[in-house]
């Protein structure tokens, strides 16, 4: 078991090493901005990485505070499920309700998971990094195909 300070240090090292891996990965070398993340051009829609003691996730998160608008965004995404899941070996996990541990905020999530990995095991970092890169590239590309439609429909939603 790690102290709070030790765990924080390991997490920091993990994300620093991930950044270095992104700099040299062939899929990312030519990109000016490595990841879209919060720059989706749609308020309340973000892409996220998450890793903990049990798994790693690549997430498309809907965090609109208005529950009706979040439900509408989730429904729109479901209409384009075939596009969002294109290229993934297994179906993405669709979770309408998730409470974020860090903030308690209610969000909806669409994600892919790599089970059985632990951020505190350095010998698993490369597997997590490769999972993150391959799956986030795919999720970003698929999201970009429907982004304008989602933005327009949410802008028109009252």
So where are the chain's domains? Answer: 4-156
What's the burial of 43, exposed, middle or buried (CB within 10 Å: 0-12/13-18/19+)?
middle
Instruction: For the chain, give the percent of residues with pLDDT over 90.
Output: 85
pLDDT tens for 45-98 read: 999 999 999 999 999 999 999 999 999 999 999 999 999 999 999 999 999 999
Q: How confident is the model at residue 101 (pLDDT cuts 50, 70, 90)?
A: confident
| Global confidence as pTM | 0.93
Q: Which helix (H) or strand (E) holds 55?
A: strand 55-62
| Of 84, 92, 88, 85, residue with least CA distance to 149 | 84
d(CA 37, CA 48): 6
Cβ contacts of 65 within 8 Å, gap of 6 or more: 44
Torsion of CA 90, 130, 123, 37, to 10 degrees: -100
Nearest Cα neighbor of 98 from 66, 63, 132 is 63
pLDDT exceeds cutoff 80 at 109? yes
Among residues 116, 125, 114, which one has the least CA distance to residue 14? 125
């Amino acid at each position: 078991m790690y102290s709070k300070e030790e765990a924080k240090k390991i997490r920091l090292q993990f994300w620093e090493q991930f950044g270095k891996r992104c700099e040299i990965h062939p899929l990312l070398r030519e990109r000016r901005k490595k990841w879209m993340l919060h720059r989706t051009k749609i308020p309340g829609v973000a892409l996220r990485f998450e890793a903990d003691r049990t798994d790693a996730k690549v997430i498309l998160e809907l965090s609109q505070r208005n529950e009706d608008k979040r439900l509408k965004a989730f429904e729109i995404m479901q209409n384009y499920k075939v596009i969002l899941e294109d290229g993934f070996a297994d179906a993405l996990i669709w979770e309408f309700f998730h409470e974020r541990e860090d903030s308690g905020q209610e969000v909806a999530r669409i994600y892919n998971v790599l089970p059985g990995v632990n951020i505190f095991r350095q010998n698993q970092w490369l597997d997590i990094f490769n999972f993150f890169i391959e799956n986030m590239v795919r999720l970003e590309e698929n999201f970009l195909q429907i982004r304008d439609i989602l933005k327009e429909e949410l802008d028109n939603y009252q």
